[in-house]
Every structure is written in C-alpha cells, then in structure tokens.
Structure 1
Amino acid sequence: MVQTWVQVNVSALSELVLVGFSNHPWAKLPLFLLFSLVYLTSCFGNTAVVTLVVLDASLQSPMYFFLCHLAFLNVFFSTVVVPKMLFNFLASRRVISYAFCLAQTYLTLFLECTECFLLAVMALDRYVAVCHPLRYLLLMSWPACAALALGAWALGFFASVVPLYCVILPLCGPYVVDYLFCELPILLHLFCADTTLQETMMAVGGAGTVLVPFVLILLSYLRILLAVLRVDSAEGRRRAFSTCTSHLHVPPGCGDHLLGTGLIRYLRPKSLYPAEGDKLISLLYAVINPMLNPFIYSLRNKEVQGALGRVTGRCRAA
C-alpha cells in the first residue's frame, strides 16, 4: 500500500519551483549579465587548456593530461548548472522539471566527487615528480595516468550513484526549491519521511569523498615540502618547488574546495542550512571555481603561455 502511494506521488510530480534570487528582483538583470560573462569565461578558459594540450607537444605530459580532465570537468559542471540558472533569471515562471532536477542532483554530486579524487591524483603526480624525479616517467607512464584518471571518474560515479539511489524518498508539497539548482542537501527539505538515516549516509559519504582526498593531498605536499627542504642548493630548492607552485597557489574555497565547501554542504544536519548563505557557497564552487581553475592551474604557467604563443603563431602563419 505504501509502495503504491510513493509511485503515484513521484509519477504525478512534473515540476518544481526553483526560487533562486527571485526575492531580489532588482538584481535579476545585473546577475544575468555577470554570470553570463563568468560562464563564457569559464568555457573559453577551460576549452583553451584542452586545446593547447592537444595541439602543443611540449604540454603532452602527465600533469597537463590530468589538467585536461579537470578542465573538461569544469566545463561539464558549469553547463549542468549555469544555463538553467541564467534562464530562470529572466523567466516569469522559475520552474524545473522533476526529471531534470533529479538528473542535475546526480550530476552535480558525481562531478563534485570526481573533482575531489582528481585533485588528489594531481597531488600524487606532483609528489612523484618532486620526490622520485628519476623514476617519474616510469611511475607516471601513460597507462598509469589513464588508469588514475579513469579511477577518479569511476570512484566519483560509485560514490554518488549509490547514495543518491538510497536517499530518494517521496516528496511533500509545496514543491519549492529555495536554491539556485537541484542538489542533494536541498532535496532533503522536500522529503516527507524522517531523513535521519539519509543525512547520516550523506555525511559518511561526504567525509569519504572529501576528507580522504584532502588527507592524500596534505600528505603529498608535506612529503614534497620535506623533499624540497632536503635539497642543498637554493637553486635546486627553487626548481623543485616550481614544479608544484601552480597547484599550491589556490585561494581558500576556490580551486580546492575539498575541506571548505564540501564539508559545509554535506556534513551538516539539514536544520542548519541557511538558504541565502548556501546560495553564495553554491555560486563559489559551481560558477566561480570552474572559471578560476584554468587560470590558477594552467594559463598563468610559463609553459602554457609559451604553448599559447606557439599555437597562435602557427594559426597566424596558416
């Protein structure tokens, strides 16, 4: 009897209201223009990274191979979230279909988990480059790099699809999502049943996908720091440190949001979700972070800038 009631409710539900920033009507057009520019910059910057790595032979190394995966993930994440958000800035009816809401919920969780694991793989790559330079090409061979990248995507998939399948419950009206897009912590507010078990599962899963990569990153860079300090000459220390500076110069809460926004979003009980504050956090990791990543990790790197000059020079000559 209960199973039939759940199926009827889910099948009858066609769309949800997506509130967004509708309580600030004066800001709709400025925000639309601002985030349109941010989205276009994100797509251009991340696509440029992939294009340069593909076209310039000097960038076809393990580090830039992983940066290509990160750039693709950033474009994918932004495209899942931003276009619908931009549409709702100007639409008179700010709604999202229930099917698209579930798809968006899964994809955002999948991509967030994958980015955490991918950042850990990138830190491992820098650790091998600094601490085992003579064996670097052997340890980080192309089959090994492909396996690590595939492993990050696979772990992201399994870390997201299992919890999402287990936490979906019947929804209760009013079907209003006071957020910018559909995400698992927000859907908990719409469930009719007790969500204590689901919140626990989400916290455990969040700890696994956030804290484990964070610890691996921290250990990698501690080993790098110790290896650099053991180098005798100042020039040697400078060269060793320069191999990972592009990964270390990440503003708190931007490129590496493993311990920040990830913990904030997934390790709190739903009673502690301040709607307006969470909207700002979501803008940070879903909109701003994908735009900043190519500039933080790649485009300000001298090797990438040199490749950009060579590629544009070839294009002009052609």
Structure 2
Amino acid sequence: MANQTQVSEFILLGLSEQPRQQQALLGLACSLYLIGCLGNLLTILAIISDPRLHSPMYFFLSNLSLLDVCFTSTTVPKMLLNHVCGLTTISSSACLVQMYFFIAFGAADSILLSAMAYDRYLAICRPLHYMTAMSMLRCAQLVAVTWVMASFISLVHTILMTRLSFYASRIPHFFCDINALIKLSCSDTQVNEMMMLVLGGSGVLVPFVCIMASYTPIAVAVWKVPSARGKWKAFSTCGSHLCVVSLFYGTIIGVYFNPASTHTTSRDMAATVMYTMVTPMLNPFIYSLRSRDLRSALRRLLSQSHLAKPL
C-alpha cells in the first residue's frame, strides 16, 4: 500500500462507451435538464407570486422544486461541459465535492418527501388540527431538519471516502457515484459499505417507511368516505405525491439496495438517469396536472410575463 500511487484525477466514461449512442444520450440529458430546470423554476415563481398558494403543501413543493434543480445541477452541467470541451477528467477534490452535494441533495429530497407525506396525513386524517400542527414555523423547522440531516449523511460519506486509496481512475459513470468509487478502491471498504447501509437506511429507507406509515391511515380515511366523488377529491390531494414517491424510491432502491449480483452497468445507468434527470423533470408536470390552483397560478405567471415583455 505504501508504494501505491494516489489517483489525483478520475476519468468519467459518460453515459455510454459507444460514441454515437453517447451523442444521442447527451442530447437527451441536455433536454431533460433544461426542461426540468425551467419547469421547477416556474413552479417556484408561481408559488411565490400567488398568495393563494402560500400554504404548507405548496411551501414543501417549492422546496422540493428547488432541491430538484440543485440535484440535477450537481451532475448534468459537468457532464455537458466535459463533452463540449472534449474532456473526460475530474480532479479527485472536485469528485468528492460533486459526490457530497449529490448525496446531500438526494437525501434531502428523500427526507422532504416524507415530510410532505406527514403534511398530507394531517390534512386528511386530522383536518381540525391541521393549521395548528402545520404552522409556517413548523414547516420551516421541518425543512431545516431536512437540510441538516442530509448534510450530515453526506459529510460522513465524504469523510470516509477521503480515507480510501484507488488503484484505477476510470469511473464507468457520468458522475462521481459513491458505489462506483468504492469499487475502484484498493483499500478496505467495509466501513464505507456498512455506513452506506446505515446512513442509506436513515436517508432513504426510514423516510420511505414513514411515507408508507402516513399513507396507511390516509387510505383507511379515504375508504370511509361515502361518495365516490368525495373519495376522488380526498385522494387527488395526495395522488401527485404518490406518483413522485414511486418514481424516486423505485429507481433508488433498484440501484443501491439490491444484491450486487443483480447489477449490470446498463441497468444501473438507466435507473440512475431516471432518478437524477427524468424524475426531477417530471415532478412539476405531475403536480401542475393534478393541482388546479397551481395550473391557474402558472397561467397567470406566464400571461403576466407575456404582457410585460413589450415593456
């Protein structure tokens, strides 16, 4: 180990090793990134500009949209910049920084989704206590706890990664993924792998269990509603959140919580693209399609910007 040369930079192999396929996938990634950023930023602006959307549910949604923009911005711009400049390398320090923010924003996304599920539980199952339990101060506290927990999880992973030495520099991915880096290490990675399970459980599985625990009484409450119209109205308030949860957790669990023997490079890459690009791009469309108030706010925002353009 004393004679090992510490790797000072890594080579990111990108979305594919085939040049033509790489070009097509890069174009797709650029489109998904731009559409996702535009959709999420418009959602944030619509919520801020419309006083009728100043409620806990839309407060959480605006934070989720901000997280989605940050989450995709940790990986896609670097990948596109490398392609434009003809580079494939990233320094070891930049790689650790990218990994830190990727894990932090991803964990914050996961924890925030559980806070949104709790909000829906209170709105449907405890409507008389909702405004008291979900005051704006309480909402701000939940968001602050989300950021602190996610930063802690990411910091632990990053510190543990600095202990490792690497025998190879070619990362078969388009960003510095923690799984890919661990596989390249020539050091003992047992602590890293154990903390992936422990912190991964606290950042992904625990929020997922909390979401399921929140939706169980919601499902019971909706089932007890006598009219079909009433059931649909009650369910529609959380249908968007369920769609987002299914997309986000389904792909993450498929990548990080399956046996290593079931993993293939193409399968992991497809799942990673889903939760890093496709899901953040779809989130604003899912919510706007199912929320009449948000659709109205977006229309007013776009009409105002159109009228203000000649000025």
Shared fold, TM over 0.5 = yes
Question: Does the C-alpha gap of structure 1 residues 31 and 238 become closer, same or farther in structure 2, counting only changes over 3 Å?
Answer: closer
**For 1:222 and 1:288, how far apart are their aligned partners in 2?**
28
The offset of 1:165, in angstroms, is 1.4
Aligned with residue 187 of structure 2, among 193, 205, 216: 193
The 2-side partners of 1:87 and 1:98 are apart by 17
Cα distance per residue 1:40-76 (max 9 Å; x no partner)? 1011000001000010111111101001111001100
Q: Following superposition of structure 1 onto structure 2, how do residues 1-318 of structure 1 map, counting pairs within 5 Å?
A: 13-21=7-15, 23-250=17-244, 252=246, 254=247, 257-258=248-249, 260-268=250-258, 273-318=263-308
Q: Quick one: which amino acid aligns to residue 66 of structure 1?
A: F
CA contact (8 A) 2:289 2:295 kept: yes
CA distance in 2, matches of 1:266, 1:251: 16
What is the SS of the residue equivalent to 1:249?
helix
Find the aligned partners of 2:103 and 2:150 in 1 and give their Cα distance: 8
Contact 1:29 1:90 in 2 (8 A): no
Conservation of the 8 A alpha-carbon contact between 1:15 and 1:98 = yes
Between 279-288 and 159-168, report the one with greater CA deviation: 159-168
**Distance in 1 separating the partners of 2:70 and 2:132:** 31
Structure 1's unaligned 5+ residue stretches are none
Distance in structure 1 (CA, Å) of the matches to 2:159 and 2:261:
22
Instruction: Classify the secondary structure of the residue corresponding to 1:296.
Output: helix
TM-superposed CA distance for 1:298, in Å, is: 3.3
Structure 1 contact 20–178 (Cα < 8 Å) conserved:
yes
**Alpha-carbon distance, 1:312 to partner:** 3.2
Deviations 1:8-45 (A, max 9, x none): 955xx432111114521112332222221111101100
CA gap of 1:268–1:228, structure 2 versus 1, over 3 A, is: closer
Does 34-43 or 201-210 show the bigger shift? 201-210
Of all paired residues, the percent bearing the same amino acid is 38
Structure 1 residues 311 and 190: alpha-carbon distance in aligned structure 2, compared to 1, 3 A threshold = same
Secondary structure, counterpart of 2:43 in structure 1: helix
Matched to 2:294, the amino acid is V
- Whether the aligned pair in 1 keeps the contact of 2:32 and 2:277 (CA below 8 Å) is yes
8 Å contact 2:167–2:185 — kept in the other structure? no
Aligned to 1:54, what secondary structure does the other structure show?
helix
| Deviations 1:233-265, CA, capped at 9 Å, x for gaps | 33433332222122233484x2xx22x333333
Which is further off, 14-23 or 111-120? 14-23
Superposed CA RMSD: 2.3
1:310 partner amino acid = R
Farther-moved stretch of structure 1 (57-66 vs 25-34): 25-34
What TM-score results when the alignment is normalised by the length of structure 1? 0.89
Letter in 2 for 1:63: M
Provide the secondary structure at the position in 2 that maps to 1:63: helix
Give the letter for the 1:293 counterpart. Answer: N
- After TM superposition, the structure 1 stretch with the greater mean CA deviation from structure 2, 230-239 or 54-63, is 230-239
Aligned-partner Cα distance in 2 for 1:224–1:70: 22
Contact 1:49–1:299 (Cα < 8 Å) also in 2 = no
C-alpha distance 29-166 of structure 1, shift in aligned 2 (>3 A): closer
**Aligned mates of 2:280, 2:155 — CA distance in 1:** 23
